[in-house]
Amino acid sequence: MSDINQFIAHTQLRTSPFFERTSKLNESQEWRRWAGFLSATSYELTHENEYFAIRTKAGLLDITPLKKYIVEGPESRKLLDQLVTRNIEICKVGQVMYTPWCDEHGKVIDDGTVQRLSENKFRITSAEPNLDWIQSNATRMDVNVIDDSFTTAALALQGPNSREILNSISAKTLDNLKFFWMMETTFKNIPVSISRTGYTGDLGYEIWMDPSDALAVWDLLIDKGKLYGITPIGLHALDIARIEAGLILLDVDYISSRNALIESRKSSPFELGLGWTVKMKKDDFIGKSSLIKEFNQGSEWSFVGIEIDWEEFEKYYREVGLAPGLPSTAWRTSIPLYYKNEQVGYATSGTWSPILKRYIALAHLKSKYARVGFELMFELKIEHFRKLSKATVVKTPFFDPERKRSCPI
Protein backbone atom coordinates (compact mmCIF):
# COMPACT_ATOMS: atom_id res chain seq x y z
CA MET A 1 0.00 0.00 0.00
CA SER A 2 1.36 3.45 -0.95
CA ASP A 3 2.05 6.11 1.70
CA ILE A 4 -0.90 8.22 0.58
CA ASN A 5 -3.29 5.25 0.66
CA GLN A 6 -2.04 4.28 4.12
CA PHE A 7 -2.70 7.85 5.26
CA ILE A 8 -6.22 7.79 3.82
CA ALA A 9 -7.00 4.45 5.45
CA HIS A 10 -5.67 5.65 8.81
CA THR A 11 -7.54 8.97 8.82
CA GLN A 12 -10.73 7.60 7.20
CA LEU A 13 -10.76 10.45 4.71
CA ARG A 14 -12.79 10.25 1.51
CA THR A 15 -11.29 10.63 -1.92
CA SER A 16 -13.12 12.32 -4.77
CA PRO A 17 -13.90 10.64 -8.12
CA PHE A 18 -10.97 12.64 -9.57
CA PHE A 19 -8.43 11.26 -7.08
CA GLU A 20 -7.04 8.72 -9.53
CA ARG A 21 -5.79 11.69 -11.57
CA THR A 22 -5.05 14.27 -8.88
CA SER A 23 -3.03 11.87 -6.70
CA LYS A 24 -0.65 11.11 -9.57
CA LEU A 25 -0.27 14.77 -10.53
CA ASN A 26 0.46 15.97 -7.00
CA GLU A 27 4.26 16.32 -7.02
CA SER A 28 4.34 18.04 -3.63
CA GLN A 29 2.13 15.37 -1.98
CA GLU A 30 0.72 18.15 0.18
CA TRP A 31 -2.89 17.56 1.14
CA ARG A 32 -5.49 19.21 3.35
CA ARG A 33 -8.71 17.95 4.90
CA TRP A 34 -11.74 19.60 3.26
CA ALA A 35 -15.19 18.51 4.43
CA GLY A 36 -13.94 14.98 5.06
CA PHE A 37 -12.14 14.74 1.71
CA LEU A 38 -8.46 14.75 0.88
CA SER A 39 -7.70 17.87 -1.19
CA ALA A 40 -4.42 18.97 -2.75
CA THR A 41 -2.88 22.16 -1.36
CA SER A 42 -0.54 22.45 -4.34
CA TYR A 43 0.42 20.15 -7.19
CA GLU A 44 3.87 21.57 -7.79
CA LEU A 45 6.47 22.13 -5.09
CA THR A 46 5.31 25.74 -4.87
CA HIS A 47 1.95 27.19 -5.80
CA GLU A 48 3.07 30.25 -7.81
CA ASN A 49 2.46 28.71 -11.23
CA GLU A 50 -0.97 27.52 -10.14
CA TYR A 51 -1.92 30.99 -8.95
CA PHE A 52 -0.82 32.64 -12.20
CA ALA A 53 -2.74 29.99 -14.16
CA ILE A 54 -5.92 31.33 -12.52
CA ARG A 55 -5.11 34.92 -13.42
CA THR A 56 -3.53 34.50 -16.87
CA LYS A 57 -4.59 31.11 -18.30
CA ALA A 58 -6.93 28.56 -16.67
CA GLY A 59 -6.83 26.67 -13.38
CA LEU A 60 -8.67 23.38 -12.79
CA LEU A 61 -9.78 22.66 -9.23
CA ASP A 62 -11.62 19.67 -7.76
CA ILE A 63 -14.53 21.11 -5.76
CA THR A 64 -16.33 17.82 -5.13
CA PRO A 65 -15.93 18.25 -1.32
CA LEU A 66 -18.53 21.04 -1.35
CA LYS A 67 -21.66 20.03 0.54
CA LYS A 68 -24.54 19.72 -1.91
CA TYR A 69 -28.25 19.27 -1.19
CA ILE A 70 -31.22 18.78 -3.50
CA VAL A 71 -34.51 20.38 -2.43
CA GLU A 72 -37.39 19.22 -4.62
CA GLY A 73 -41.16 19.38 -4.47
CA PRO A 74 -44.15 21.74 -4.80
CA GLU A 75 -43.05 23.80 -1.77
CA SER A 76 -39.31 23.81 -2.49
CA ARG A 77 -39.20 27.50 -3.41
CA LYS A 78 -41.28 28.43 -0.36
CA LEU A 79 -38.93 26.50 1.93
CA LEU A 80 -35.76 28.07 0.53
CA ASP A 81 -37.27 31.54 0.68
CA GLN A 82 -37.82 31.02 4.42
CA LEU A 83 -34.29 29.68 4.96
CA VAL A 84 -32.09 32.24 3.20
CA THR A 85 -31.83 36.02 3.09
CA ARG A 86 -32.09 36.30 -0.71
CA ASN A 87 -35.43 36.47 -2.53
CA ILE A 88 -35.76 32.99 -3.99
CA GLU A 89 -39.23 33.86 -5.29
CA ILE A 90 -37.60 35.77 -8.16
CA CYS A 91 -34.92 33.14 -8.90
CA LYS A 92 -35.52 31.84 -12.42
CA VAL A 93 -34.86 28.35 -13.75
CA GLY A 94 -31.18 28.25 -14.68
CA GLN A 95 -30.24 31.05 -12.30
CA VAL A 96 -27.79 30.80 -9.36
CA MET A 97 -27.95 32.99 -6.26
CA TYR A 98 -25.23 33.47 -3.68
CA THR A 99 -26.70 33.80 -0.19
CA PRO A 100 -26.05 33.41 3.52
CA TRP A 101 -28.55 31.83 5.90
CA CYS A 102 -29.01 32.83 9.51
CA ASP A 103 -30.24 31.65 12.87
CA GLU A 104 -33.26 33.25 14.57
CA HIS A 105 -31.01 36.05 15.92
CA GLY A 106 -29.82 37.06 12.46
CA LYS A 107 -26.33 35.56 12.83
CA VAL A 108 -24.84 33.70 9.87
CA ILE A 109 -24.89 29.91 9.98
CA ASP A 110 -23.25 29.39 6.60
CA ASP A 111 -23.12 30.82 3.09
CA GLY A 112 -23.28 29.22 -0.34
CA THR A 113 -25.24 29.14 -3.57
CA VAL A 114 -28.77 28.17 -4.55
CA GLN A 115 -29.14 26.76 -8.08
CA ARG A 116 -32.61 26.55 -9.59
CA LEU A 117 -32.44 23.37 -11.65
CA SER A 118 -36.12 23.25 -12.67
CA GLU A 119 -39.48 24.66 -11.61
CA ASN A 120 -39.56 22.75 -8.33
CA LYS A 121 -35.98 21.55 -7.93
CA PHE A 122 -33.02 23.38 -6.37
CA ARG A 123 -29.46 22.52 -5.37
CA ILE A 124 -27.83 24.20 -2.36
CA THR A 125 -24.05 24.26 -1.97
CA SER A 126 -22.36 25.03 1.34
CA ALA A 127 -19.12 24.70 3.23
CA GLU A 128 -20.48 22.85 6.28
CA PRO A 129 -23.05 20.07 6.71
CA ASN A 130 -26.53 21.62 6.70
CA LEU A 131 -28.76 18.64 5.92
CA ASP A 132 -30.29 18.26 9.39
CA TRP A 133 -31.00 21.98 9.63
CA ILE A 134 -32.69 22.09 6.22
CA GLN A 135 -34.74 18.96 6.94
CA SER A 136 -35.85 20.20 10.36
CA ASN A 137 -37.14 23.41 8.77
CA ALA A 138 -38.90 21.40 6.05
CA THR A 139 -41.14 19.56 8.52
CA ARG A 140 -44.75 19.39 7.33
CA MET A 141 -43.84 20.91 3.97
CA ASP A 142 -44.34 19.16 0.63
CA VAL A 143 -40.64 18.86 -0.21
CA ASN A 144 -37.97 16.20 -0.38
CA VAL A 145 -34.47 17.08 0.86
CA ILE A 146 -31.62 14.74 -0.05
CA ASP A 147 -27.85 14.83 0.37
CA ASP A 148 -26.26 15.24 -3.06
CA SER A 149 -22.71 15.58 -1.70
CA PHE A 150 -21.57 12.14 -2.88
CA THR A 151 -23.79 11.74 -5.94
CA THR A 152 -22.56 14.78 -7.85
CA ALA A 153 -18.91 15.44 -8.69
CA ALA A 154 -17.73 18.96 -9.52
CA LEU A 155 -14.80 20.86 -11.01
CA ALA A 156 -14.04 24.57 -11.12
CA LEU A 157 -12.36 25.90 -14.26
CA GLN A 158 -11.21 29.45 -13.54
CA GLY A 159 -9.27 32.00 -15.53
CA PRO A 160 -9.34 34.09 -18.72
CA ASN A 161 -9.05 31.04 -21.01
CA SER A 162 -11.76 29.00 -19.29
CA ARG A 163 -14.53 29.91 -21.72
CA GLU A 164 -12.45 29.02 -24.78
CA ILE A 165 -11.55 25.64 -23.29
CA LEU A 166 -15.17 24.79 -22.55
CA ASN A 167 -16.32 25.98 -25.96
CA SER A 168 -13.84 23.58 -27.56
CA ILE A 169 -15.57 20.66 -25.81
CA SER A 170 -19.18 21.63 -25.18
CA ALA A 171 -21.96 20.77 -27.62
CA LYS A 172 -23.42 24.23 -26.87
CA THR A 173 -21.57 27.54 -26.85
CA LEU A 174 -21.01 29.29 -23.52
CA ASP A 175 -20.75 32.73 -25.13
CA ASN A 176 -24.21 33.74 -23.92
CA LEU A 177 -23.98 32.23 -20.42
CA LYS A 178 -24.26 35.15 -18.00
CA PHE A 179 -22.62 35.58 -14.60
CA PHE A 180 -24.43 33.44 -11.99
CA TRP A 181 -26.48 31.48 -14.53
CA MET A 182 -26.16 27.86 -15.58
CA MET A 183 -26.85 25.61 -18.56
CA GLU A 184 -27.09 21.96 -19.53
CA THR A 185 -24.81 20.60 -22.25
CA THR A 186 -22.73 17.56 -23.18
CA PHE A 187 -19.02 16.83 -23.53
CA LYS A 188 -18.81 14.10 -26.19
CA ASN A 189 -22.22 12.72 -25.14
CA ILE A 190 -21.41 13.09 -21.41
CA PRO A 191 -24.18 15.17 -19.77
CA VAL A 192 -22.93 18.02 -17.58
CA SER A 193 -24.29 21.17 -15.99
CA ILE A 194 -22.15 24.30 -16.15
CA SER A 195 -22.62 27.32 -13.88
CA ARG A 196 -20.81 30.59 -14.40
CA THR A 197 -19.66 30.76 -10.80
CA GLY A 198 -16.47 30.35 -8.84
CA TYR A 199 -14.39 31.37 -5.84
CA THR A 200 -11.56 33.25 -7.55
CA GLY A 201 -13.13 36.55 -8.62
CA ASP A 202 -12.20 35.88 -12.25
CA LEU A 203 -13.90 34.59 -15.36
CA GLY A 204 -14.77 31.06 -14.37
CA TYR A 205 -17.16 28.16 -14.42
CA GLU A 206 -18.14 25.20 -12.26
CA ILE A 207 -18.95 21.88 -13.92
CA TRP A 208 -21.38 19.44 -12.28
CA MET A 209 -21.55 15.80 -13.33
CA ASP A 210 -22.25 12.21 -12.37
CA PRO A 211 -19.24 10.74 -10.50
CA SER A 212 -19.04 7.89 -13.02
CA ASP A 213 -18.16 10.47 -15.71
CA ALA A 214 -15.59 12.31 -13.59
CA LEU A 215 -12.39 10.86 -15.06
CA ALA A 216 -13.62 11.20 -18.64
CA VAL A 217 -14.48 14.87 -18.08
CA TRP A 218 -11.13 15.53 -16.38
CA ASP A 219 -9.24 13.92 -19.26
CA LEU A 220 -11.18 15.91 -21.86
CA LEU A 221 -10.49 19.18 -20.10
CA ILE A 222 -6.79 18.45 -19.65
CA ASP A 223 -6.43 17.34 -23.27
CA LYS A 224 -8.34 20.22 -24.87
CA GLY A 225 -6.93 22.72 -22.38
CA LYS A 226 -3.25 22.08 -23.12
CA LEU A 227 -3.13 24.75 -25.83
CA TYR A 228 -4.70 27.22 -23.37
CA GLY A 229 -2.35 26.55 -20.47
CA ILE A 230 -4.76 24.59 -18.29
CA THR A 231 -3.17 23.79 -14.92
CA PRO A 232 -4.48 21.73 -11.99
CA ILE A 233 -4.58 23.99 -8.94
CA GLY A 234 -4.71 23.39 -5.21
CA LEU A 235 -6.02 25.22 -2.18
CA HIS A 236 -2.97 27.46 -1.68
CA ALA A 237 -3.49 29.18 -5.04
CA LEU A 238 -7.23 29.34 -4.46
CA ASP A 239 -6.77 31.04 -1.09
CA ILE A 240 -4.75 33.89 -2.63
CA ALA A 241 -7.29 34.36 -5.42
CA ARG A 242 -10.32 34.41 -3.11
CA ILE A 243 -8.71 37.03 -0.83
CA GLU A 244 -7.97 39.21 -3.87
CA ALA A 245 -11.65 38.79 -4.76
CA GLY A 246 -12.72 39.79 -1.23
CA LEU A 247 -14.57 36.51 -0.67
CA ILE A 248 -15.16 35.26 2.87
CA LEU A 249 -14.19 31.82 4.15
CA LEU A 250 -16.03 29.95 6.89
CA ASP A 251 -13.97 29.19 10.02
CA VAL A 252 -11.41 31.77 8.89
CA ASP A 253 -13.17 35.08 8.25
CA TYR A 254 -16.22 34.17 10.31
CA ILE A 255 -17.48 31.36 12.54
CA SER A 256 -20.83 29.65 12.04
CA SER A 257 -23.29 30.76 14.71
CA ARG A 258 -23.91 27.07 15.41
CA ASN A 259 -20.27 26.57 16.37
CA ALA A 260 -19.44 29.85 18.11
CA LEU A 261 -18.79 29.31 21.81
CA ILE A 262 -19.57 32.92 22.78
CA GLU A 263 -21.89 35.57 21.34
CA SER A 264 -19.07 37.89 20.25
CA ARG A 265 -17.81 35.28 17.77
CA LYS A 266 -21.03 35.42 15.77
CA SER A 267 -21.56 37.72 12.78
CA SER A 268 -24.59 38.99 10.91
CA PRO A 269 -24.67 39.41 7.11
CA PHE A 270 -24.32 43.19 7.63
CA GLU A 271 -21.18 42.63 9.71
CA LEU A 272 -19.70 40.45 6.94
CA GLY A 273 -20.25 42.93 4.12
CA LEU A 274 -23.24 40.90 2.88
CA GLY A 275 -25.96 43.45 3.54
CA TRP A 276 -26.76 43.43 -0.19
CA THR A 277 -27.99 39.84 0.15
CA VAL A 278 -30.58 40.68 2.83
CA LYS A 279 -33.91 41.35 1.12
CA MET A 280 -36.09 43.00 3.76
CA LYS A 281 -39.12 43.44 1.48
CA LYS A 282 -39.71 39.72 1.01
CA ASP A 283 -41.91 37.64 3.30
CA ASP A 284 -40.67 36.41 6.64
CA PHE A 285 -37.41 34.44 6.78
CA ILE A 286 -35.29 33.10 9.61
CA GLY A 287 -33.60 35.99 11.43
CA LYS A 288 -35.55 38.75 9.66
CA SER A 289 -36.80 40.56 12.77
CA SER A 290 -33.30 40.74 14.25
CA LEU A 291 -31.84 41.91 10.93
CA ILE A 292 -34.48 44.65 10.61
CA LYS A 293 -33.50 45.90 14.05
CA GLU A 294 -29.81 45.84 13.18
CA PHE A 295 -30.44 47.59 9.86
CA ASN A 296 -32.27 50.42 11.62
CA GLN A 297 -29.78 50.77 14.46
CA GLY A 298 -26.60 50.15 12.48
CA SER A 299 -24.00 47.39 12.92
CA GLU A 300 -21.27 47.54 15.52
CA TRP A 301 -18.81 45.78 13.20
CA SER A 302 -17.94 46.00 9.50
CA PHE A 303 -15.96 43.68 7.24
CA VAL A 304 -13.43 45.51 5.07
CA GLY A 305 -10.31 45.23 2.99
CA ILE A 306 -7.05 46.73 4.18
CA GLU A 307 -3.76 47.41 2.44
CA ILE A 308 -0.55 47.34 4.46
CA ASP A 309 1.69 50.30 3.61
CA TRP A 310 4.72 48.96 1.74
CA GLU A 311 7.26 51.68 2.56
CA GLU A 312 6.79 51.44 6.31
CA PHE A 313 6.59 47.65 6.21
CA GLU A 314 9.88 47.49 4.29
CA LYS A 315 11.54 50.07 6.58
CA TYR A 316 11.06 47.93 9.70
CA TYR A 317 12.83 44.98 8.07
CA ARG A 318 15.68 47.07 6.68
CA GLU A 319 16.32 48.52 10.13
CA VAL A 320 17.35 45.04 11.31
CA GLY A 321 19.19 44.18 8.09
CA LEU A 322 16.56 41.89 6.54
CA ALA A 323 14.64 41.82 3.29
CA PRO A 324 10.87 42.32 3.78
CA GLY A 325 9.28 39.14 5.14
CA LEU A 326 6.34 38.65 2.85
CA PRO A 327 4.10 35.59 3.40
CA SER A 328 4.73 32.81 0.88
CA THR A 329 1.14 31.60 1.23
CA ALA A 330 -2.06 33.26 2.34
CA TRP A 331 -2.29 33.41 6.11
CA ARG A 332 -5.34 32.58 8.24
CA THR A 333 -4.57 34.05 11.64
CA SER A 334 -6.10 36.86 13.67
CA ILE A 335 -3.86 39.96 13.60
CA PRO A 336 -4.77 43.04 15.69
CA LEU A 337 -5.49 46.43 14.10
CA TYR A 338 -5.09 49.66 16.06
CA TYR A 339 -6.04 53.30 15.97
CA LYS A 340 -4.10 55.57 18.35
CA ASN A 341 -2.99 52.60 20.48
CA GLU A 342 -6.56 51.29 20.82
CA GLN A 343 -7.38 47.99 19.19
CA VAL A 344 -10.32 48.63 16.88
CA GLY A 345 -10.41 45.36 14.96
CA TYR A 346 -8.48 42.44 13.57
CA ALA A 347 -7.46 41.00 10.23
CA THR A 348 -8.60 37.44 9.57
CA SER A 349 -6.77 36.45 6.37
CA GLY A 350 -4.21 38.12 4.15
CA THR A 351 -1.71 37.64 1.38
CA TRP A 352 0.83 39.31 -0.83
CA SER A 353 -1.04 39.74 -4.11
CA PRO A 354 1.31 38.66 -6.92
CA ILE A 355 -0.74 40.35 -9.64
CA LEU A 356 -1.50 43.59 -7.78
CA LYS A 357 1.90 43.82 -6.07
CA ARG A 358 0.19 44.83 -2.84
CA TYR A 359 0.03 43.37 0.67
CA ILE A 360 -3.70 42.96 1.36
CA ALA A 361 -5.95 41.50 4.03
CA LEU A 362 -9.58 41.06 5.04
CA ALA A 363 -10.57 42.42 8.42
CA HIS A 364 -13.29 43.04 10.99
CA LEU A 365 -13.38 46.65 12.21
CA LYS A 366 -15.60 48.58 14.55
CA SER A 367 -17.86 50.37 12.12
CA LYS A 368 -16.79 53.93 12.88
CA TYR A 369 -13.27 53.07 11.71
CA ALA A 370 -14.35 51.18 8.59
CA ARG A 371 -14.69 53.93 6.01
CA VAL A 372 -12.50 53.74 2.90
CA GLY A 373 -9.28 55.72 3.33
CA PHE A 374 -9.16 55.44 7.12
CA GLU A 375 -5.60 54.85 8.40
CA LEU A 376 -4.90 52.14 10.96
CA MET A 377 -1.90 50.33 12.38
CA PHE A 378 -1.27 46.68 11.54
CA GLU A 379 0.61 44.53 14.04
CA LEU A 380 3.60 42.51 12.86
CA LYS A 381 6.54 40.79 14.52
CA ILE A 382 10.10 41.22 13.33
CA GLU A 383 12.85 39.27 15.07
CA HIS A 384 10.53 38.61 18.03
CA PHE A 385 9.64 42.29 18.52
CA ARG A 386 6.20 43.79 17.93
CA LYS A 387 5.92 46.60 15.42
CA LEU A 388 2.98 48.64 14.17
CA SER A 389 2.90 49.34 10.45
CA LYS A 390 0.50 51.69 8.67
CA ALA A 391 -2.53 50.12 6.94
CA THR A 392 -5.40 51.75 5.05
CA VAL A 393 -9.01 50.69 4.66
CA VAL A 394 -9.66 50.06 0.95
CA LYS A 395 -12.56 49.00 -1.21
CA THR A 396 -13.07 45.32 -2.03
CA PRO A 397 -12.80 43.34 -4.17
CA PHE A 398 -9.12 44.14 -4.52
CA PHE A 399 -9.11 42.43 -7.93
CA ASP A 400 -12.22 42.76 -10.10
CA PRO A 401 -11.61 42.24 -13.84
CA GLU A 402 -14.34 43.13 -16.33
CA ARG A 403 -14.10 39.64 -17.87
CA LYS A 404 -15.60 38.14 -14.71
CA ARG A 405 -19.08 39.37 -15.69
CA SER A 406 -18.87 40.20 -19.40
CA CYS A 407 -19.97 38.07 -22.36
CA PRO A 408 -18.23 38.15 -25.76
CA ILE A 409 -21.49 38.70 -27.61
CA–CA gap between residue 346 and residue 264 (Å, rounded): 13
Q: What is the pLDDT of residue 66?
A: 97
Paired with 115 in beta bridges are: 96, 123
Q: What is the pLDDT of residue 131?
A: 97
pLDDT tens digit at each of 409 positions of the chain: 556 655 555 557 899 999 999 999 999 999 999 999 999 999 999 999 999 999 999 999 999 999 999 999 999 999 999 999 999 999 999 999 999 999 999 999 999 999 999 999 999 999 999 999 999 999 999 999 999 999 999 999 999 999 999 999 999 999 999 999 999 999 999 999 999 999 999 999 999 999 999 999 999 999 999 999 999 999 999 999 999 999 999 999 999 999 999 999 999 999 999 999 999 999 999 999 999 999 999 999 999 999 999 999 999 999 999 999 999 899 999 999 999 989 999 999 999 999 999 999 999 999 999 999 999 999 999 999 999 999 999 999 999 999 999 999 7
Buried b (16+ CB within 10 A) or exposed e, 363-399: bbbbbebbeeebebbbbbebeeeebbbebebbebebb
Q: Kindly report whether the global pTM for this prediction surpasses the value 0.85.
A: yes
Q: What is the pLDDT of residue 409?
A: 73
